[in-house]
Structure 1
Amino acid sequence: METLVSALAATLTTAAFVPQAMHIIRLKETKAISLFMYVAFAAGVAFWLIFGFMIWNWPMIIANTITLALALGIVGMKLRYG
């Protein structure tokens, strides 16, 4: 049951960042997003990823790997496009 709940939570929180990343990729416009928020979020996700490895929870590991990549991609685009 814990794996199902963590898989559901991981899927939803990861999927939530895809539209933002796609929007930035398409329009190359990041004025409305906060760099500090995404850097802080990416750091938090990195710690959740570490925790996922510590407890060996695959849904948490996979989702946080993907979410971290998306968040760092958004940070990179924010730095590139302003």
Structure 2
Amino acid sequence: MSDTAEMVAEYVGEDGRIYQIDHLGICYPSQRGEYAVYCEDQMVADFLAFNTLLKPEAQPPLPSTGELIEMAKAAVRDASKD
């Protein structure tokens, strides 16, 4: 994982492995709303919570933990199809 200070949530996947969600915008404000998903120290997916091209004052609030987990699960599923 890139930096534990960026980890905002984790969940156990259907495969029994632990997945960690990093918010890249914690250390890099220009990446607010951008997330990476790690499993066993390997990045397995990434996703955007909203259009990050919006000016900061126009961006919606960050998603809840539950919403992030659902987004991460979808991103992992999509990445595994590639």
TM-score surpassing 0.5? no
Higher relative CO (Cα under 8 Å, sequence separation at least 6) belongs to 1
| TM-score after normalising by structure 2 | 0.29
Query: More strand per residue: 1 or 2?
Result: 2
If each structure's helix is expressed as a fraction of its own residues, which one has the higher value? 1
- TM-score normalized by the length of structure 1: 0.29
Larger radius of gyration: 1
